[in-house]
Amino acid sequence: MSAHASTVDPKKAELWDTHHHSHDVISTRTLGYFLYLLSDGMLFATLFAAYGVLSYQHSYFGGPTPAEFVKPWYTFAQTIALFLSVLAYGFGMNALKHKNKSGLINGMLAAFVLGVVFLVLDIHDMSHLYSMGITIASSGGMSAFMVLTQVHATHIFFGLIWILVMIAQVMTKGFTEETVGRLLTLRMFWHLQAVIWVFVYIFVYLWGYIS
C-alpha cells in the first residue's frame, strides 16, 4: 500500500542498533534551551503588543507620557553597559575554546559587573520616576511602560544570579559536559536579553521620546 513498501530487503535489513549511537548531551540541552528562548521571545512579543495597544495619547489618561520623562542618553548608557557585558561574555567563551579557565572567569566577571551597572542604572531610573510620582498605577500607558521595561530588568537580574552560579561551578568543577552546556545556554540567554533590549530601547525609549 505505501509507496516505498519494498525498498528495504528484509533479509539483509539491519534490525537493531549495533553502533551505540549516543545522544550528544550538549546539543540536546542547547536545543531545548533554544526552544525555551522561543517561548521567552513570545512572552516579550505579547508584552510589546500590549505596549503598542496602550501607548496612544488616551492611554496616559492626561497623566505623564514617556515623552515627558524619557532621557535617551541615559538609556543609551544602559545599552552600552549591556552590550559590553555581552561582549565580555563572548571573550570569556573564546577563552573556553582554548580551555583557559581563568580567561573564562575573567570574562564572566566583567559581564557580571557590566550587567550590574545596567541594573543599577535601571533601578536609579525607576526610583527617580517614583520620586516624581510616576508609578505603574498612574495610567494604562504607564502600566505597560513599567511592566515591559521591568520584566526585561527581571530577566537581567536572574541572568546575573546565573552568571555567579556558573562562575562558582567552573571554579569547582572545571569544564565538564554539564558546565560547558550551561555556559552555552547562558550565553544564548544573555544574547537574547541584549536583543530584546534593542527593541525596548527603540520602541519604548526612542519612540516614546519623539512621540
Partner 1 sequence: MLVDLPGGWSPLLGRLAWSQIPYANPILAPLFVAVVIGAIILLGLITYYGKWTYLWKEWLTTVDHKKLGVMYIIIGLVMLFRGFIDGLMIRTQQVWAVGPHSTGVFGSLHGYLTPFHFGQVYSAHGLIMILLAATPLLVGFMNIIVPIQVGARDMAYPYLNALGLWITAAAAALIMISLFVGDFAHNGWFEYAPIFELQYSPGVGVDYWIWTLQLVALGTTLGGINILATVIKMRAPGMTWGKLPIFVWASLSANVIALTSFPALQVALALVAADRYLGAHFFTAGMGGNLMLYTNLFWIWGHPEVYFVILPAFGMMSEIFPTFSEKPLFGYITMVLASMAIAGVSWLVWLHHFFTMGAGPYVNTAFSVATMLVGIPTGVKVFNWAFTMYRGRLTFNAAMLWAIGALFLLLIGGMTGMMLAIPAINYMVHNSVFVVAHFHSMLLVIVYAIFGSVLYWFPKVFGFKLDEFWAKTMFWLFSAGTALVFVPMYMLGFMGMTRRLEYVFNTSWQSYLDVMELGIVVYTLSVLAFFILLYVSIRDHAKNRVGADAWGTSRSLEWMTHSPVPFYNFAVLPHVNERDELAWRRQHGIDQVRPAHYDDIHMPNNTGVAIIMGGLTFVLGFALTWRIWWLCIVSLLAIILLMIIRSFKGDPGYIITGAELQRMEEEAYRREAQIADSHHSHPVSGGVVGNAMAYQRNDSSK
Segment contacting partner 1 (CB under 8 A): 6-14, 75-83, 102-110, 192-200?
Answer: 6-14
Smallest gap from residue 63 Cβ to partner 1 (A): 8
Q: Are 105 and 171 within 8 A, CB to CB?
A: yes
Smallest gap from residue 32 Cβ to partner 1 (A): 4
Which residue in 94, 102, 127, 135 binds partner 1 (CB under 8 A)?
Answer: 135
By CB under 8 A, what part of segment 71-130 binds partner 1? none
**Number of amino acids touching partner 1 (CB under 8 A):** 57
- Write the CA distances from 75 to 52, 78, 149, 204, integer angstroms: 20, 5, 11, 10
Residue with cell 515591559: 148
Which residue in 64, 72, 103, 140 binds partner 1 (CB under 8 A)?
Answer: 140
Which residue in 178, 195, 202, 210 binds partner 1 (CB under 8 A)?
Answer: 178
Dist CA 104 CA 108 (whole Å): 6
Q: Are 188 and 164 within 8 A, CB to CB?
A: no
Instruction: Report helix, strand or coil for 26.
Output: helix
Look up residue 29 and give its three cell numbers.
540541552
Query: What is the maximum alpha-carbon separation in the chain?
Result: 82
Segment contacting partner 1 (CB under 8 A): 21-29, 66-74, 79-87, 89-97?
Answer: 21-29
What string marks each residue from 141 to 170 as x (binds partner 1 by CB under 8 A) or -? xxxx-xx-------------x---x--xx-
